Amino acid sequence: MWRFPYLMGTNGGAAFILIYIVSIILVSLPIMVSEMIIGRRGASNPAGSLFHLSSGNKVWRMLGFLMVLAPFFIMCFYGVVGGWTVDYLFRSLTASFSEMGTEAACSAAFAETMSSPIRPLIFMFLFVLASGMILSAGVQKGIERYSKILMPILLLVMVILALYSCTLPGASDGLKFMFRPDFSKVNGGTVLAAFGQSFFSLSLGAGTVLTYSSYMKKSQDIAGMGNWTAISDTCFALIAGMAIIPAVFAYGFSPSEGPGLVFVVLPAIFSHITGGAILAIAFFFSLFIAAITSYLSLMEVVVVCLSEELKISRKRAVIITMSFVVLFGILCSLSCGPLQDITLFGKNIFDLMDFTSSNILMTLGGLVVVLFIGWKMKKEDFFDEISSSGKYKHAYYSLFYYLVKYFSPIIIIVIMFVGLFGY
């Protein structure tokens, strides 16, 4: 809801979507299935699973720890974004958007939100605290219980917002932007953004899929679950785009606003729409749900790794994780304001965390997964796990295997190279 619409808006719309879908099918889905195979067969955190399945190889164990770094880095800056969603939900409840009639006014308000030394820290802490409280209850009593309630609400609200957005006068231009490809706008950056977003959206290389899969039963269809996860994730991304982009065009705003699209353009739109105050509450409540459920999956990876590797209780692991996330999250938040002049490699702390996790750690984690499946795990073990010991049989299993063994490593290395050195 936050990343996909603005990346689509800044990368040509429909052409970006097509490249994104190709990336999902040829690269991201095989990697997701590979993570699920490692997770279920290893029945542990990323480091533990790779260590166990490699017969005690310490190198693979260390590479597993690298995968845990990715969700930690993401949590540090994403917690700040989560705090922004709490802040804007609070603003929508107090009808603050009625005072923001223009994009310039909303842009100024968002800039003030980011640069404030105190306000975003408070909301970031509340967001991380809420995530920690849910996670400390465990997988079934925490993540599953709340996700079963929150996710259907999120889908319902987003479908309603998408339908409303598509019926606005002038919304057809936004739909054309989303579904009529213009490949003249495609360049190396577009391709990189699409492939990177497919990794980010499915949390590949960050250990989340691997960790969740460690709870899967042997009888469950890994390939089938992977397919439906990728399909539903892509469909929801398109629904999020349809809830935002048509409204952006309907009111004459720019879809290339960037990361601040949902925090700058949409509040301005809500101030113009009849019933905008109610829609604002519905949207930012949905954004909060999307943010916190995503955050839970990231935090689960770090918590499980600490709990299993250090032999400590789950609640203690949650407290340790929250403490470090808040500490680095403070630096990320302040780097958008008082500490903005402190840079490394030309990036402030927030952008550096984002760049490092998305362009280095997640792609590196994906590379570790495909190399392990394709070149370390026995071929017969791959087919045994993906078929649940022969229970499921699909013709594309062999295609999956060869994509992971030969095609995926090359694509991931190219993505890493382009992300680091440009195109």
| C-alpha of 400 from chain center | 23
Q: How confident is the model at residue 336 (pLDDT cuts 50, 70, 90)?
A: confident
Q: What is the pLDDT of residues 363-402, one digit of tens each?
A: 899 999 999 999 999 999 999 999 888 888 877 888 889 9
Residue 24 to residue 217: CA distance in whole angstroms = 25
The answer, yes or no, to whether residue 52 has pLDDT greater than 80, is yes
- Band (pLDDT 50/70/90 cuts) for residue 100 is low
Mean pLDDT, the chain, rounded, equals: 86
**pLDDT at residue 8 tops 90:** no
The residue ranges of every structural domain in the chain are: 3-421
Contact 243, 161 (CB under 8 A): yes
Residue 76's pLDDT is what?
92
pLDDT of 341 reads: 83
* Beta carbons within 8 Å of 244's beta carbon, 6+ residues apart: 5, 165, 261, 262, 265, 266
Structure token pair of residue 215 = 């709870």
CB 320 within 8 A of CB 198: no
Cβ count near 311 (within 10 Å) = 7
**Each residue of 155-177: pLDDT tens digit?**
888 888 888 889 888 889 999 99
Q: Give the residue-averaged pLDDT of 3-27.
A: 87
pTM, whole model, 2 decimals?
0.85
Q: For CA atoms 72, 73, 76, 77, give the dihedral sign.
A: negative
Encoded tokens for 189: 């950056």
Q: What is the mean pLDDT of residues 228-255?
A: 87
- Cα angle 345, 350, 353; round to 5: 70
Percent of the chain with pLDDT over 90: 33
CATH no. for 3-421: 1.10.4160
**With 70 as the cut, is the pLDDT of residue 196 above it?**
yes
Give mean pLDDT, residues 196-224: 87
Report whether pLDDT(20) > 80.
yes
